[in-house]
Structure 1
Amino acid sequence: MEDLKSATDFWVIGINYRKADTTLRGAYAVNEHQYEAILDSAKVFGVSSLFVLSTCNRTELYGFAEQADQLTGLLCRHTEGSAEAFTAQAYIKKGNEALNHIFNVAAGLDSQILGDYEIVGQIKQAFYFARDRGYTNSFLDRLFNTVLQSCRAIRSETKLSSGTVSVAFAAVQFIRNRIDSFDHKRILILGSGEIGQAACRNLLTFAGKDQVTLINRTEGKAQALAEELGLHTAPFEMLRQYIRECDIIIVATAAATPLITVADLAEGDEKILIDLSIPNNIDAAVQQYKGIVLANVDDLSRINDETLRKRQAEIPKAEELITCHIHEFAEWYLMQQHVPVLKAVKEKLHALNMQLAEARQQDDKQAVQKALNTMAKKMRTEEQRPGCNYIETIHHYLKQTVA
């Protein structure tokens, strides 16, 4: 598997919001424990280097293998869904197509809400998780850095992510469209991860700090965010009480099963429930009560405002910047293929200089580097084969040295 490092062995397999609803996406969502298990068993499936991206909109596995079904088998081995159901809704991309895909995903061009910049942080977290455990290679490391450069360029040179449109923002907009005012509304935020934090900040634009209570399984995380934003917190053990008392509840957790079910509500309750989790953490059956309004991430993605229309106009500019960065990565990749030849030439030139040392008393480093630079330049700009460059460089160097 050490040979699985070329672009032709690079794959991405995944499902996203385009063909898979929240229920299906939830079956292939990957939590931290599952991610560890995927990495640990990668070699058993013939996967040499990889990282996994799992968000509310998608689950994707980027890695090196001989066949795509090796990656599919690895993912499905450690998630709830079957390989058959996954394959029926999945996209499979290889080589250049896979490279183009990751650039588009990171830029927000493939997001459920166009230009959603939260995906960049999610990709960073996913990549660092695999890299820190030794499951990436030089190809993935360089690719990741180039993708980040592309994102920064798009962020600074276009308005693709301008304005405030994200899943968390859409959640607040959804609520505003269904109530006259936030006055006297009690609000519960369940979860203090990235999306939960974003939801808190968006809510505080319209609601008072004393109206919002934050609950998280890990109380330390909830307290840190609460102190930063001036919010109330409550222990997880009091969740049922706050579900009964609050008018608006936003759930953004990574629980494997629903945290709010029919048993937590009653006929006559009037509440707005927002589920920003994948898999869903609010049981859809709660909608049997007439006073309950429930929305998940797919419902929220249907917002259509002036900000999104402006973002649409920025797509061509973003695609141009992506093309430039893909070319930059391709140039680096192609030069890596010549490294063994350049190394061999360097070793041969130094050996020749050792043999000629008695005939000439001068430092050979500058002459050797000049010859290498000339060869590298030719290999970038000409279609001549590496072997021909090798012979030509040695011959030219000997001619100059003897002269």
Structure 2
Amino acid sequence: MNIEIRVVVELIDQQFRLFEHSFKNSNVETRTELALSEEKVNDFYSKDLKKARCAGLLVQTCNRRLFIVHGEQVDLIQQKIQSELNLASETMEVKHGNEAMRYFLRVVSGMESQIYGDAEIAGQVRKSFFTAKEFGCVSGLLEKVVTLGIHTSRTVKRIDPTTFRSHSVSLATAQLLKFQSPKNILIVGTGEIGKRVIHHVSRLEDIKAEITVANRTSKKAEDTALRYGCKVIPFANWKKNASSYHAIVLALHSMEAIITKEVDLHPDCHIYDLGVPSNVRSVQRGIHVMDVDTISEAYNAVHNAQVVMAQSDHDHIIGAAMEALQRWSKARRAKDLIDGIGMQSEQDYYGLHSNSSLAHVFFSKVKAEPQACVAKLWLDAVAQNFDEDIQSAAL
């Protein structure tokens, strides 16, 4: 009996699955081809998940495209994703059950990022979660895993702020700009990533360059410029003036490349392309172009040496989070069991054992605090054999 209960606790839910293409198995070109448009993202939530009667979440960033799916027909979603990938399906990483949950916790915490300790991934996951919730595609388990992931991210930031509080692709870009020391910088895109690049650049005293921003929505560009003391150039005009800039940071999401050979650039220009899909298709000869992979590799040459010794401690945090998830799963299963037992009258149960007052206390506490205490009450009851008939009902 104890062995069966232990198995239930350890295997939280095998219908929880994770599919991923990331920097680990796909280069920027492949990730660009796999990037989903807003229309396809909406179809995933409104059509694919609904048809399969599954809950799900899609996280799409510059270095990964990750699906987590939970439901009885999760195989249909996997087949759908693989059917659209062609040869790329051979490199898609697939994880099941507890392994998928543990890996997802590491992703949200920044432990599986291209730059170890990425501080931005948790916010991106949170944003994706709210999108899934708007479409009604969130289950209780999915919500618990995401919530626990966000909490774990905060925990690692608090315990090891040196590793987890600031490192990101945007910080890496700012550091490379410091080494380049350009005369001026154009930042195209003032969304979350673009603003973070500007923030990091503004905090580096070694960067003396004049900063100009451009954004499709002019109000956002003006607000950002006012906050950080930058200049603004209309989005429609920046390509015409691109040859004036020694460094250009492309921090916007576009399904089409925005820099091609037709755009005249300064001979010494460095381009930092933070977009996936890639914002650069081709450039004139001699122009330096760095994408998210090469930016991360350059930054990691220094950063990884600093964090390798601390990774074992970080694994303990993930282990503690998984234990918390198992306790929650145990409580949920016990609550479902008690709800089933509760369909019969309490009077029927009182007749099963002479100690009716003990049964009354048991059911009263279950009704008052089902999530918090039902698992402990139930397992304690089983261990003490206080009611053999209730044990039989459970089995």
Q: Are the equivalent residues in 1 in contact too, given 2:156–2:164 (CA < 8 A)?
A: no
Matched, 1:134 2:140: no
Query: Among 64, 76, 100, which residue is 2:102 paired with?
Result: 100
- The one-letter code sitting in structure 2 at the alignment partner of 1:33 is E
Please name the residue that 1:399 is paired with. none
Q: Are the equivalent residues in 2 in contact too, given 1:190–1:251 (CA < 8 A)?
A: yes
Please name the residue that 1:234 is paired with. 233
Please name the residue that 2:364 is paired with. 369
Query: Among 54, 73, 76, which residue is 1:70 paired with?
Result: 76
Q: Are the equivalent residues in 2 in contact too, given 1:188–1:212 (CA < 8 A)?
A: yes
Question: SS of the counterpart of 2:336?
Answer: helix
Please name the residue that 1:217 is paired with. 216
Partners of 1:318 and 1:325 in 2: CA distance: 11
Partner deviation per Cα, 1:34-56 (whole Å, 9 max, x = no partner):
32121111246525100100000
Q: Percent identity?
A: 21
Within a 5 Å distance, the mapping from 1:113-152 to structure 2 comes to 113-152=115-154
Partner deviation per Cα, 1:54-84 (whole Å, 9 max, x = no partner):
000100110124566533454468xxxx422
Question: SS of the counterpart of 2:21?
Answer: strand
Distance 1:233 1:381, change over 3 A: farther
Please name the residue that 1:299 is paired with. 294
Q: Are the equivalent residues in 2 in contact too, given 1:72–1:83 (CA < 8 A)?
A: no
Q: CA deviation at 1:109?
A: 1.1
Question: SS of the counterpart of 1:51?
Answer: strand
Distance 1:375 1:154, change over 3 A: closer
Partners of 1:12 and 1:85 in 2: CA distance: 19
Q: Are the equivalent residues in 2 in contact too, given 1:160–1:311 (CA < 8 A)?
A: no
Which stretch shifts more, 121-130 or 44-53? Answer: 44-53
Within a 5 Å distance, the mapping from 1:195-206 to structure 2 comes to 195-204=193-202, 205=204, 206=206
Q: Are the equivalent residues in 2 in contact too, given 1:379–1:389 (CA < 8 A)?
A: no
Q: CA deviation at 1:189?
A: 0.3
Equivalent residues, number? 367
Partners of 1:296 and 1:366 in 2: CA distance: 63
Please name the residue that 1:57 is paired with. 63
Q: CA deviation at 1:175?
A: 3.1
Matched, 1:13 2:19: yes
Please name the residue that 1:275 is paired with. 273
Query: Among 13, 23, 26, which residue is 2:29 paired with?
Result: 23
Question: SS of the counterpart of 2:95?
Answer: strand
- Any unmatched runs of 5+ in structure 1? 1-5, 356-361, 395-403
Within a 5 Å distance, the mapping from 1:220-369 to structure 2 comes to 220-265=219-264, 269-283=267-281, 285-286=282-283, 288-290=284-286, 292-302=287-297, 303-304=299-300, 306-352=302-348, 366=361, 368-369=363-364
Q: Are the equivalent residues in 1 in contact too, given 2:17–2:68 (CA < 8 A)?
A: yes
Distance 1:328 1:47, change over 3 A: same
Q: CA deviation at 1:270?
A: 2.1
Please name the residue that 1:191 is paired with. 189
Partner deviation per Cα, 1:207-254 (whole Å, 9 max, x = no partner):
457x11111112222222222212222221112123122111000111
Question: SS of the counterpart of 2:241?
Answer: helix
Give TM-score scaled by structure 1 length. 0.81
Partner deviation per Cα, 1:261-295 (whole Å, 9 max, x = no partner):
110026x7221111000010012x21x512x1110
Partners of 1:324 and 1:336 in 2: CA distance: 19
- The one-letter code sitting in structure 1 at the alignment partner of 2:242 is I
Please name the residue that 1:358 is paired with. none
- The one-letter code sitting in structure 1 at the alignment partner of 2:276 is I
Q: Are the equivalent residues in 2 in contact too, given 1:256–1:279 (CA < 8 A)?
A: yes
Distance 1:76 1:125, change over 3 A: farther
Rg comparison, structure with higher value:
1
- The one-letter code sitting in structure 2 at the alignment partner of 1:219 is S
Which stretch shifts more, 8-17 or 344-353? Answer: 344-353
Q: Are the equivalent residues in 1 in contact too, given 2:52–2:74 (CA < 8 A)?
A: no
Partner deviation per Cα, 1:6-32 (whole Å, 9 max, x = no partner):
711111111000110001011222343
Partners of 2:108 and 2:306 in 1: CA distance: 19
- The one-letter code sitting in structure 1 at the alignment partner of 2:277 is P
- Any unmatched runs of 5+ in structure 2? 1-11, 352-356
Please name the residue that 1:41 is paired with. 47
Distance 1:161 1:194, change over 3 A: farther
Distance 1:304 1:352, change over 3 A: closer
Partners of 2:379 and 2:295 in 1: CA distance: 48
